[in-house]
Structure 1
Amino acid sequence: MQCPLCNWQNPASYTHCFSCQAPLAVAGGQAAASAPDKPPQTQTNLQLEDVFPGTMARLGATLIDGVTMVAIPMALVLAWVFARPAFDSAPATTYPVALALGILGLFIPALMDALGQGSAGKRLLGQRVVTRSGERPGLVRSVLRHFLKYSLTLGLTLAVPFLLHRLLTALFGERGLHSSMTGTFVVSRRASDTAIQKAVALVRGPGWVLKGLVMLAGTAAFSFATMVAVVLWNQGDEPANPRRETVRQLDGAARTVLRLVENHYQSTGAFPTSAATVGLGRPGQLPAGFQAMAIDPANGVVRLTIADSTGDMALAGKHLVYTPVLRTRKQQTDIHKWQCGSDDIARSDRSFSCRHEATGIAR
């Protein structure tokens, strides 16, 4: 017998609908003698409230899972870094294994949802993830849900906090994109299987058109991210160059000098006139690896001369040049960053952060 309110198919012997508890017509066309204690709509609302946790409860579980996703990968990576020497593992394997452990740690909540009783946040707040049949989601479904939640749903919501949240809520309801797309539900652990099946039967999922658009957008975003990662990886995949490593170390040592110049500019509003102005006028006061410093008081360009104590005689007497980039905020101008370059060191021998054109050089 079909329910006139929710269209649920019930056995002929039922006097009330299994889904919404509305009275059903009895044989002979007469209505059931007794009416329900509460209106069907009120009972449906109470049923949903008993099964599905509120927004704040689900947000609390997400925050706890977020802490877990930070702590566990860090612990796994540190454990591998410290344990690697004991296994006589080659240093070249440190980064791939550490990356694999980090990725595994990020998906720990998904594994707990699929294989256990729920992630840490959901267990602490009395929640779990189920499918429409009331069962735990499989491993693939759980991992996909986790990926969509922390990449698309959370990432897009943080990017445009108000408008995008309203849009996602309008399209997918309070379940969110990640649950709607994977056919899963966050339910209370106290709810019975029967109550869960009744409640999820009342929730409609997204149509195929909406699912197709989301999959298309996700594929485009993933392809773009992959291309960016490949480009960045290929840029870093250069042959070993000891001279470039020396320049990188010198660049790090020069930051002490640049901080002194920044402090002088912040306190006086002008660039120092010489190295002595910032307390670096006497021999031995410059950072290791440098033998002289010049600064242009007009534009703040700092020119550091490399000493012959670096171990690479080809760099002795050559220069690193730093050009300040100014920024004005709240009517106050300060040094935002430094552009590192050189006019006499080959570009291929400089680190990636030190490949700006050296203009306005102080001599």
Structure 2
Amino acid sequence: MTDRMATARPLTVGIDVGGTNIRASVVDAEGEVLDTVQAPTPHSARALEDALERAVRELLPRHPIGAVGLAVAGFINADRSTVRFAPHLPWQDTPVAERLTRRLDLPVILEHDANAAAWAEYRFGAAAGGHNVVLVAIGTGIGAALLIDGRLYRGSHGVAPELGHLQVVPQGRACPCGKRGCWERYCSGTALADTAIELLATDPAPSTVLAREVSRDPGSLTGRRVAGAAQDGDPIAMRAMADFARWLGLGLAFVSDIFDPDLVVIAGGVSSSAPLFLDEAREEYARAVTGAGHRPLARIRTTQLGEAAGMIGAAELARAVLADSGDVARTH
């Protein structure tokens, strides 16, 4: 890439800061991932910031980088500079953007990981052309993002929308957030495993692959394993998946009653199993939404960018900040 091209269209780095690994990718203005490095996530704030700095410095000699965006699973303040709280990371009320900007001599911004993924899907993926878009990222729990007329909605304090913690079952399953009956406790990878275990407990004579697996090691069951067993025709797993589909459809009906989106994007690890549940979820949504039969329904799609969406979105948001600040020519 020539200096002139780098000045006109700078490359940026998007980093997915996960509880297990950090992944940093160089992304161009078309949303293409050009290079990626990965490392385990350290458990102290200083060590984590050291690891993030190392990841960017590993990429700097290979690419003209103008800015960095971090996709974080946690509460980010309104100006996207501080991590208020992240349940799986060692930051609390920490000015992460300022610290990394000082270390790297590059503009650094933060974004909630679901917001970053939604922005990537809007710019380059499944949400392209949407007007009012909800992204629901289903994995261990539920993350969510809302785009209104092409703008991310973050709320007054930077933490909206927490759709996974809408209470759908009063006094239902306990949630790590402290409440009971949250949507993500019935519609997530974790919930899928919990539902399968409950079904096994009520079956008088379960003779399935899952039953044998749970009898050997009750803690080994995961949502991914349940989905795989459902794909193979395991009856308990298929019942658990049907329950998941019902809760997804009901939850999307609540979401549509509140936001009336024209498009919903299903992302996160569970989205890879969409053929097992998406048609049933669409049917449940169409039945449960207020005014069913008398209103347009949102289109429901699965992610187009997959696990890279958070990194691509964070990089694209960093590029926008770089352009707005007039630092387009400042690349390393």
TM-score band, normalised by shorter chain: under 0.3
Instruction: Return the TM-score normalized by structure 2.
Output: 0.26
Question: Relative to total residues, which structure has the larger helix share, 1 or 2?
Answer: 1
Instruction: Return the TM-score normalized by structure 1.
Output: 0.24
Q: Which has the higher contact order (CA 8 A, sep 6+)?
A: 2
